[in-house]
Structure 1
């Protein structure tokens, strides 16, 4: 919020969105809640329905949490934004096509190019006409994992951009220690199959897969369908217990077309899939200890129905929690992953026996991997590359990228940004 407060919303003309993950778009309605922002919001064509659901979910959670805090502490805090503000903000959105330059004004044009990260994720090429010359800024947003992109059947394949004056590029997984390859992916898919067979089929037990609602849930559904969808003897129910995930699945069905839509609709018509919407249905499902696979949000177990499932499953040694994504430090998911030697895990202030079987699969990252970033970034003809969206690994990656660029006989400057970095055109 402190960064939002530094923005003068009345001075904004355009807000350009590359993709609709919450860490990139979640606070935008706050600018319009102040009543001073009239900026157009530019998004890739097809994004509005997902954006709407992400903002409405964020507003609902924030309003609920603020109400609890106010009652508990006798305060009068206000939420960042309400549902009314979401609908007001949606009026400023303009969707544009990809792969062609679209003029927004006499001074500004944009082209979206596929980033391969999630459905409709784009790199943004921004053209600024300064009169005597035009400058181009490339902003990567988040980039997809090239080594496994053929498995991400609902996501457009990554397309490289070859030139810019300035490139602002993500380096989320710049660490040398973190590598996700096609080979590790295949091993992990085999592990998923064996976990489901062991716990659900052989032991008549439950497998909880904490999953992010956007992108990760349909991806896991596709993997499960690929493994078991044609097996007439496979009767294990697959519960989608997340209101947001269920709404986003409806968005996917309306956005996808051609063979992708046919495959998606085929998966969603699979008899094993059970969509849990109402809270009462979720409570009943948790009380039923029979064999089932549960996809529930949030993926890091920070909130949502997945926490309730964890409270039920964690104390049972015959049940299993299967993690398939990144977990931030000190989240409940992180504590479970790295607390195997602890007899209990605290959940919402109450200790729960730590007996469930835990698996942590590493190969399902939707981010571009280190070597792929090096190969891509060194190929871009530009004056400067600014590295963003990372941690301390950014410095090490900067030096390695500089060496890779030098090997190409180029003189591109690389900057690892910090909170005080200013970019001059």
Structure 2
């Protein structure tokens, strides 16, 4: 048996793992690389395998860095099933067509540039895939329920468990039998932060021979809920009287949690009369899907039925749809909280709002999620003084705030606590979905405290198991 780490190895995005055993080979995730100038080029490179020879695909969750290359896979000849939870399937109905639309728009924009200005990026005038490929991909999704063990192929079965990261996210347990030997592989996917609003906590897994585990925040803890609330309230009080607050947020998961957080603050009279604009048609659809799957909420969210109270608790919550409505937001000079995608500030409507507010010292930018190396959001977090948006140089005068307490990823204490759920140490543990320092720090903690055998694979590295 072999595992080839095709993506999210030494980096956070681009999740893709090829498992080969006997005559069977399959993928876990097929995600898009995000952030940095090299991402569009790398995403266009051929797969390091023949898609037509894959037997099936297992998908941990719907985020584009885990699912975004599935249409490319279909386009390249894959014809089998893509196994995912029902909530993930619903989200893919929104996310994959949107991704295709972005590909087509970006390619058309690139084609308008003189070839002399395109340089090594000339190939970007062709989309990675088209809308037809995304729609065709949806026909390959096969929904499975949490906790059910299913047979995938002779000698291979799996079970999806709740990862608590976003709606429908899964930890995948896989049993592979070769001859008289059965090995259990566990892919953690992205693990959620315990105690976060809306979703249930990640399920603890008790046994694994091979563990492929995320390490995004493996080097640090998040701020406490109380500390996070105090920070948000302080930003609101200082900013809204004279300026706007811009919140880049992924349309799936993060936007809904930010709304929930604002709702909680309003219910406890910590903030009042907020004017909140969710400027993302995809976020509106994702919010509707979230409400459809209330069976996946944690007990507190179910008890409060919070989502049904949004209209009364946050009366000034608006979901904008049209381009004209979005453009009107940029005429507001103060008092607006604008939540918009993309979460890393590299595409979508958020770039327009940053263009109109970054240069204003009375405004604030609230970063609520992970920012990949090379992304515009990461540059803002790192303190860059000037950025280029739509060809315009903008001085960064707005205050930049990183609100780690709102992260949907497990922090270091949560990752270690989840690891302690194993009754005995996995024989092999591989840390993925992390940059070098977080992965190395987490590896050290797992080795020192739990006496685990931990390896941090490189991209394209293949591990063989006898």
- TM-score, reference length from structure 1: 0.88
Of 189, 196, 201, which residue of structure 2 is paired with 1:151?
Answer: 196
Partner of 2:54: 12
By relative contact order (CA 8 Å, sep 6+), the higher-ranking structure is 2
The correspondence of residues 23-422 of structure 1 with structure 2, limited to 5 A, is: 23-34=65-76, 36-73=77-114, 77-145=125-193, 149-153=194-198, 155-175=199-219, 178-182=220-224, 185-200=225-240, 203-229=241-267, 234-257=272-295, 260=301, 262-267=305-310, 270-339=314-383, 342=385, 344-377=386-419, 379-380=421-422, 381=424, 382-393=426-437, 394-406=439-451, 413-419=453-459, 420-422=461-463
Kept in 2: contact 1:242–1:297 (CA 8 A): yes
Deviation at 1:50, TM superposition (A): 0.3
Aligned partners of 2:247, 2:108: CA distance in 1, in Å?
A: 30
Q: Closer, same or farther in 2 for the Cα pair 1:151/1:397, shift >3 Å?
A: closer
Deviation at 1:104, TM superposition (A): 2.7
Question: Number of paired residues?
Answer: 407
Kept in 1: contact 2:242–2:335 (CA 8 A): yes
Deviation at 1:307, TM superposition (A): 1.3
Aligned partners of 1:226, 1:334: CA distance in 2, in Å?
A: 28
Deviation at 1:232, TM superposition (A): 12
Q: Closer, same or farther in 2 for the Cα pair 1:122/1:233, shift >3 Å?
A: closer
Q: Closer, same or farther in 2 for the Cα pair 1:330/1:171, shift >3 Å?
A: closer
Partner of 2:118: none
Deviation at 1:152, TM superposition (A): 2.1
Report the secondary structure of 2:247's partner residue: strand
Aligned partners of 2:146, 2:396: CA distance in 1, in Å?
A: 48
Deviation at 1:402, TM superposition (A): 2.1
Partner of 1:409: none
Bigger CA drift: 331-340 or 234-243?
Answer: 331-340
Q: Closer, same or farther in 2 for the Cα pair 1:423/1:368, shift >3 Å?
A: farther
Q: Closer, same or farther in 2 for the Cα pair 1:73/1:287, shift >3 Å?
A: same
Aligned partners of 2:290, 2:308: CA distance in 1, in Å?
A: 9
Bigger CA drift: 93-102 or 274-283?
Answer: 93-102
Aligned partners of 1:15, 1:350: CA distance in 2, in Å?
A: 42
- TM-align CA RMSD: 2.4
Runs of at least 5 residues in structure 1 that lack an aligned partner in the other structure = 407-411
Aligned partners of 1:271, 1:379: CA distance in 2, in Å?
A: 42
Aligned partners of 1:232, 1:359: CA distance in 2, in Å?
A: 19
Bigger CA drift: 304-313 or 267-276?
Answer: 267-276
Q: Closer, same or farther in 2 for the Cα pair 1:322/1:55, shift >3 Å?
A: same
Deviation at 1:141, TM superposition (A): 0.7
Kept in 1: contact 2:280–2:340 (CA 8 A): yes
Deviation at 1:181, TM superposition (A): 4.3
Q: Closer, same or farther in 2 for the Cα pair 1:141/1:293, shift >3 Å?
A: same
Runs of at least 5 residues in structure 2 that lack an aligned partner in the other structure = 1-42, 116-121
Report the secondary structure of 1:363's partner residue: helix
Report the secondary structure of 1:164's partner residue: coil
Aligned partners of 2:440, 2:195: CA distance in 1, in Å?
A: 31
Bigger CA drift: 385-394 or 86-95?
Answer: 385-394
Deviations 1:310-351 (A, max 9, x none): 1211222322222222323443333333437x4x54323322
